[in-house]
Structure 1
């Protein structure tokens, strides 16, 4: 299976992490760092949110939306 059907879970945890860092995103999606950022620029992958300083991560819901339909995913256009 190329893409997992859902984000990884642990039997010991009741909730998923709220955010995933780049290392987790590349592991979960099997995409390289450069491919992730190229697809972000093309609108074909969710944008990370800035957590403060130089830290950024992907919300689990946004990442799950991409996992559910990687070929059909398109980022919503921002309102003007």
Structure 2
């Protein structure tokens, strides 16, 4: 379950983290394609949330959405 975050616009909510099912819906990519692109540095890696849970931040997804064909993992993202 994602935790909603209140944005500046009244009544608009944005999740703090997007889970796999949301990322698949947003990107229209399959789970295996996402994992291949993550391994190749062509898609942002998920953030560990605890236990088996992980998710993507809205900023990471937006960076990929802005330019999916030329997206390259930022150099400081591996730290």
What interval of TM-score do these two structures reach, taking the shorter chain for normalisation? 0.7 to 0.9
Corresponding position of 2:14 = 16
TM-score, normalised by the number of residues in structure 1: 0.79
Please list every run of at least 4 consecutive aligned residues from structure 1 whose deviation after the TM superposition is greater than 2 angstroms.
11-15, 77-80
Corresponding position of 2:56 = 58
**Which residues of structure 1 form unaligned runs of 5+?**
1-10
User: d(CA) in 1 for partners of 2:45 and 2:33?
Assistant: 13
Q: How does 1:1-80 map to 2 (within 5 A)?
A: 13-78=11-76
The structure carrying a bigger helix percent of its residues is 2
Task: After TM superposition, give the deviation of residue 15 of structure 1 in Å.
Answer: 3.4
TM-score, normalised by the number of residues in structure 2: 0.79
Secondary structure of 1:74's counterpart equals coil
Q: CA RMSD in A?
A: 2.0
Question: Number of residue pairs matched?
Answer: 70
**Which residues of structure 2 form unaligned runs of 5+?**
1-8
Greater relative CO, 1 or 2 (CA 8 Å, sep 6+): 1
Give the direction of change, closer, same or farther, for the CA distance of 1:20–1:13 in structure 2 (3 Å limit).
Answer: farther
